[in-house]
Amino acid sequence: MQFFAQAIDLLDDPDLIRVYEEHHRAVWPKVVVALRAAGMQRMRIFRHGTRLFMYCEGPDGFDPARDYQQYAADPECRKWDELMRRFQRPVPGARADAWWSPMEVVFDLESMSDGGAIGAVVGEPTC
């Protein structure tokens, strides 16, 4: 299992944030099916103020840059993404070619031994 984390900001408008969250309480069924078909096994999006944090898991060998293309090839999923972009903006310091910005792992409890010794950090995001 591989995991990935990404961040993006919402526009600083309480009404837009409310609408964004309403959309995510009723995600289009085709979007959910397409994400799973592309290999996403788990996805959670958290919000603090205007910052969104997305955590995803996929099978070993999952490559978001490659496997997301299957999702993005679907016209309804592209329409969903275009709708969501109305509410979002890249985080400060994001790469010019990135919308959601990949985050680096700085701590992983699963990689730590019970004896308190420092373990190797695993799962460096590539998306």
Backbone angles phi, psi at 114, to 5 degrees: -70, -15
Task: Please report which confidence band the pLDDT of residue 126 belongs to, taking 50, 70 and 90 as the band edges.
Answer: very low
Structure tokens at 13: 């408008």
Classify the C-alpha dihedral 12-14-19-21 as positive or negative: positive
98-112 pLDDT, tens digit each: 899 999 999 999 888
For residues 11 and 50, give the distance between their C-alpha atoms in angstroms, rounded to a whole number. Answer: 7
- First and final C-alpha spacing in the chain: 15
57-79 pLDDT, tens digit each: 999 988 877 888 889 899 999 99
Decide: 117 and 111 in contact? Cβ < 8 Å: no
Q: Reply yes or no on whether the pLDDT at 120 is more than 70.
A: no
What percentage of the chain carries pLDDT values higher than 70? 90
Return the CATH fold of 2-111. Alpha-Beta Plaits (3.30.70)
Q: Reply yes or no on whether the pLDDT at 88 is more than 50.
A: yes
For residues 63 and 84, give the distance between their C-alpha atoms in angstroms, rounded to a whole number. Answer: 22
